[in-house]
Structure 1
Amino acid sequence: MHFIFRFIRSLAADFTDLLFPVLCLGCNQSLGANEKVLCTHCRLTLPETNQHQGPYNFDLLNKFAGKVPIRFLASYVYFTKGGIVQKLIHNIKYKGQKEAAKEIATWYGHQLKLKSDLFNETDLIIGVPLHKSRFRQRGYNQADWIAEGLSEALDIPTRTDILKRTKFKESQTQKNRVERWENVKTVFSIQNHVDINGKNIVIVDDVLTTGATIEACSIELLRAGCKSVSVLTLAVAHR
């Protein structure tokens, strides 16, 4: 009897896949049975930065030099206009592909765990928060899903109730570095000071461009008493 039920479920799944195939977010081809988010070819051609592999390149921190002390910074892949990573980020942010954000972050987290010792003293992972109105509009915060994937892979807890975005600001997309900073410098606050006092925290976001948002978050966390702030993003803008 169990065999018959498994057979029927298998047929139903195959029929559903035939009618509504799950497509690769890179090339729009149907995914294989063991593929998630990206087909094998697209995954192997991701422009990985390998920034987490030693020796660590401290030049990455130049975006924050003289502004805020960042312990380390690393991104999984390079973002270029028109490239596969731009397509991935667009799907994650605007097409409801939150599970894709978590899956890709899990890939990155496994790499970090195997090939980096930067996380030995990390206590907490926090995603850059969305304002509640933006959250209602989108239905989720992609940074929280990225944080979830990293948390599972690295076995480091993540929290969504520490850092809050208290003011709604317009999109950062078309702004330069100074404009981005002016847009976000007063929009974040800390809700639970005791829970981060003396902690080494990793801030997580989807794409690192000018670093203004990360800088604003870091300042608030350090003011609240955390020991150090580090940064992980899925992508970093490639010159």
Structure 2
Amino acid sequence: MLNDFFNLIFPKICFACNGVLLKQEEVICTSCQFSLPKTNYHLDEDNPLTKIFWGRVDVKNVAAYYYFKKGGRVQNLLHQLKYKGAKQVGERIGELYGFDLQKSNWIETVDYIIPVPLHSKKLKKRGYNQSECFARGLSKSTNKSLETTILYRKKHSETQTKKSRFNRWENVSEIFDVKNTEKLEGKHILLVDDVITTGATLEASVKVLLKVNCRVSIVTIASA
């Protein structure tokens, strides 16, 4: 009764559409779960995101859960996750996407899920890594192990938001490294991030992971 009274005074809000959540709903309302623009790229091995990396790095599979549209509900979700401290948004999206990924023919071969890391300075300022929140949700619903210590960001880089494709690549080309690599040798790694645009950050991450003699696939929350 106390919870019902509290929810009446301070109702839980859907992070996508700002509508009031029903009692059994969490983070994203049922209507948004079914109507947000899904790509279904995990079911198409030659999708447009996979083609971004052709001739650049050897990536096995690439997919994103949602299409990103400026001013849309997916942008609302990402804004809440990245700038408003709503870690539960990333975890919930990851959990939902994990269930969808199980319909693919490749997710079962994944051994570890690795989020693209933040530099320690940015991590300290923000307090959390939004990609790791997404990765935790994926790990929960796919039953794949989460690994957050091997891939790390050794240099702090500027924001990518207003950079050209070449400048994005130049900004992140040598900022990642790996340690304690024997754990990943011969394994299939699922590298995850929040958004994919030009793929520069993910490409830089993949390059250092491939030094470990492993296979790499990629999934993100959204495709810009």
Aligned pairs (5 A) from 1:177-216: 177-216=165-204
Aligned partner of 2:21 among 25, 28, 31: 31
Displacement of 1:18: 2.0
Query: 3-state DSSP class of the match of 1:120?
Result: helix
In structure 2, the residue matched to 1:13 is 3
Query: 3-state DSSP class of the match of 2:91?
Result: helix
Displacement of 1:117: 1.5
Percentage of identical aligned residues: 45
In 2, the alpha carbon distance for the partners of 1:104 and 1:61 equals 21
The answer to whether 1:136 aligns with 2:124 is: yes
Give the counterpart letter for 2:222 in structure 1: A
Displacement of 1:211: 0.2
Give the counterpart letter for 2:72 in structure 1: G
In structure 2, the residue matched to 1:67 is 56
CA RMSD of aligned residues (A): 1.2
Q: Per-residue displacement from partner, 1:121-175 (whole Å, max 9, x unpaired)?
A: 1111100000111111111001111111111111110111010011111111111
Aligned partner of 1:46 among 24, 31, 36: 36
Taking structure 1 as the reference length, the TM-score comes to: 0.90
Query: 3-state DSSP class of the match of 1:231?
Result: strand
In 1, the alpha carbon distance for the partners of 2:50 and 2:12 equals 39
In 1, the alpha carbon distance for the partners of 2:198 and 2:111 equals 26
Query: 3-state DSSP class of the match of 2:146?
Result: coil
In 2, the alpha carbon distance for the partners of 1:33 and 1:48 equals 25
Contact 1:129 1:164 in 2 (8 A): yes
Q: Aligned pair count? A: 224
In 2, the alpha carbon distance for the partners of 1:58 and 1:37 equals 29
Displacement of 1:118: 1.1
Aligned pairs (5 A) from 1:86-105: 86-105=75-94
Give the counterpart letter for 2:114 in structure 1: I
Aligned partner of 2:106 among 114, 118, 124: 118
Displacement of 1:58: 4.6
Displacement of 1:57: 2.6
The answer to whether 1:81 aligns with 2:70 is: yes
Give the counterpart letter for 2:8 in structure 1: L
Displacement of 1:19: 2.4
Give the counterpart letter for 1:28 in structure 2: N
Contact 2:50 2:63 in 1 (8 A): no
- 5+ residue gaps, structure 2, are none
The structure with the larger Rg is 1
